[in-house]
Structure 1
Amino acid sequence: MTTAEYRAHEQSVPWSDVSRNSRTVAEKAAHGPVRLIRRGVDTDLILISADQYDTPDAGVFTALRLTDAYTELHDRDAAARRVFPWIEFLTDGEQGEFIRILFTKLEAAASLSSYSDFQRTVGSWRGTAENYAAGIVPAADDALDWLDDPAPVERP
């Protein structure tokens, strides 16, 4: 997430709320950055969740691995397969779509120095591969019954 994206979702709270309403401040930080405003001090602090802190680094690291593999192999498919061996669980069509989207997202991420969407895309495709590996495959469209009006169900 870029600085501009952080600021767009940023909430501000007084520094004293950290001790008086720590649960509320923590809940806000779970959903986006929280600016802790300190009176009499030139610099405020920003509180973010560990996931928000780690995501940009994970995205940059993934991009670096992919770029390194491409530099060595000079082939996008081979580079993607080296960095993401789990794509073998995807169908042939899905593998091609993943590789196409992967490099499009990487180029966009690099142009903005914002790798969170790139990392989410990789995670989403990996989740699909994990499901296939576990034997969970999508049903054919004709095997699905679509409900006109959703009905509540009991929790399993």
Structure 2
Amino acid sequence: MSVSEVPFSDIQNKGKSTLSEWQRSGARPLRVTRRDAEDLVLMTAVRADQEREVLTAATAMVGALLHSDNRDLIRTVVEAAFPWVSYLSSEEAADFVDELVASLRAGSSLDNPAPPARTIETWRHTAEVYADPELARILSTPSEGDFGAVPAPEL
């Protein structure tokens, strides 16, 4: 998906012309960049409703797939969507699928994409560790005790 981008100041200073140009371009999501805070995304309400409907449908399809008896198909679908799953064990991949479906359902019911996004990010980081044998070795080596309190970072 292509997202056009404008600085927040264009919305403030040239709001009408900026929004007219955005609408003429097809009204795809517009990233509004900000220097002092997190960027915003502007989209039409119809587009937001469509994206929510697609997410709900995809969640239901993944849930139905998960409840099928064809575990090989499930693994194939998950590995196609998330190639990094190949670095996880079969048990971990199954745990990922279970957590992903649960977080998709929860996020959909709350109209909040954070739960599934967090699940994907967490498992992707786990796969990144396994993908680097040296890092996996370092992180799996037992520590030699408590090293005490961690000092607060200097600002």
Compute the TM-score of the two structures, normalised by the length of structure 1. 0.48
Compute the TM-score of the two structures, normalised by the length of structure 2. 0.49
Higher-RCO chain (CA-CA 8 Å, sequence separation at least 6): 1
